[in-house]
Amino acid sequence: MTARVSAFERPVTREATGGYAVTLRGIRKQFGSSVAVEELDLDVRPGEFLTLLGPSGCGKTTTLNMVAGFLTPDSGQILLDGQDVHQLPPDRRDTAMVFQQYALFPHLTVGRNVGYGLRMRKRPKAEIRERVAEALERVGLAGHEDRLPGQLSGGQQQRVALARAIVVQPKVLLFDEPLSNLDLKLREQLRLEIKHLQRELGTTSIFVTHDQTEALVMSDRIAVMRAGRIDQLDTPETIYREPANAFVAGFVGQSNLIPGVCTEAGAVSCTVRLPTSNVDVHARHSGTVAAGDAVRILLRPEALRLSGDSAANSITGKVVEVVNEGSIATVVVEITADIRLRVAVSDPAALSLPAPGHVITVSVPPGAARALPTGK
Ligand SMILES: Nc1ncnc2c1ncn2[C@@H]1O[C@H](COP(=O)(O)OP(=O)(O)OP(=O)(O)O)[C@@H](O)[C@H]1O
Ligand SMILES: [Mg+2]
């Protein structure tokens, strides 16, 4: 009896969404005749750092803005912590957003910028002062309360924006390309800072970027978006190693995507014939490829080997370019007039690199090739 009562005491709505912090169900948004987001489903786990990754215009910002409540979906449902937020305006959703343009009030001091959300929530002055100081300390800006945003660098301004978001202790943090205005070094540093801070706070986060490295480095899971839909949602490792299709493979990481035809397919592996060279390559697949299918073979440059002889599972071609960056070199090998393979060589100083014009053999180690559906 007691067990039953306690089961009823749990929030029913949260049960219904399986305990997810954010759920999007069949979300759609159209601007005029163009569809920005199409029937999108997404579940974000509590405490998770989830990234929406995709090319410009694929609907990342639109999706984020619908979660925040800045935009209303044409159809579908958004639940935060199991609660349908359709009726709730942005300031009652318990989310906080960090934008690409820091969006600070220029005439307010850093302290007042960070404390803004708490003043809106009518918190007592002493509490605001304390929480603002703590938030600034967390982002490495302790004691900067009295500066104006214009007296800070871009990186510092973005830290203020971050402090302003975390100070209200939102259930969900939303980030829309917060690092893309910063130079590379600062971007690399802030990536890690944001990730560590998010881990420490344990706040569920949705991060938008079109930068694949950022997504790979920061995320628990990545949703790769294309044209208003999610093509694949998985951990960075799986997205990289087992991309669902050629689009995902091409978007995440360096890749050679060679066209071919599957001549024979088992449950997890297949044979692919390359178009002109009459070469067969053995490849893995995820059950998505059948004999007769046109496919793309994914060969990551770092998985290929330059070898002297033409052993099994190898491709012969002519070296057209060698780019030696010291710790890594890229050898570009022409297989046919329109197919080139990039082979990454780590520690090039230890090897004698082939010269342009040489005919060489590139071997594909077992498991290094993946056959992907060409994927519309
Ligand atoms: N207010 C708007 N009015 C009309 N069309 C819009 C509006 N906002 C977005 N769109 C269109 O919706 C599509 C998705 O836009 P969105 O801003 O979500 O893309 P994004 O993935 O964030 O791109 P980016 O990486 O460039 O920021 C685009 O085709 C865009 O032109
Ligand atoms: Mg955007």
Give Cα separations from 104 to 52, 225, 313 (angstroms).
24, 29, 57
Ligand 1, atom 4: closest residue by C-alpha: 31
Tell me if 228 CB under 6 Å of ligand 1. Answer: no
- Flag residues of the chain having pLDDT under 50: 1-15
pTM for this predicted structure = 0.89
Residue 17 pLDDT: 57
What is the per-residue burial (b if ≥16 Cβ within 10 Å, else e) of 320-349? eebeeeeeebbbbbebeeebbbbbbbeebe
User: Domain boundaries in the chain?
Assistant: 2-94+170-241, 255-373
Burial 17-56 (b: 16+ CB within 10 A, else e): beebbbbbbebbbeeeeebbbeebebbbeeebbbbbbbee
Atom of ligand 1 nearest to the CA of 208: 22
For ligand 1, is residue 61 a contact (CB within 6 Å)?
Answer: yes
d(CA 310, CA 319): 15
- Could you check whether 2-94+170-241 and 255-373 share the same CATH topology? no
Number of other residues whose CB lies within 10 A of the CB of residue 155: 19
Q: What is the pLDDT of residue 277?
A: 61
pLDDT given at position 13: 47
pLDDT at residue 313 in the model? 84
Ligand 1 centre to CA of 75 (Å) is 17
The number of beta carbons lying within 10 Å of the beta carbon of residue 201 is 15
Protein residue whose Cα sits closest to atom 24 of ligand 1: 56
21 near 204, Cβ under 8 Å? yes
51 lines ligand 1 (CB under 6 A): no
Atom index in ligand 1 nearest the CA of residue 62 equals 18
**255-373 placed in CATH 2.40.50.140:** yes
Domain 2-94+170-241 indexed as CATH 3.40.50.300: yes
Handedness of CA 281, 286, 289, 290 (dihedral sign): positive
Report CA(210)–ligand 1 centroid distance (Å). Answer: 13
CB of 101 closer than 6 angstroms to any ligand 1 atom: no
Q: How far is the CA of 176 from the centre of ligand 2 (A)?
A: 7
Residue 36 Cα, ligand 2 centroid: separation in angstroms? 11
Name the residue at shortest CA distance from atom 3 of ligand 1. 31
* Max Cα-Cα span within the chain: 81
Distance in angstroms (rounded) separating the CA atoms of residues 13 and 308: 63
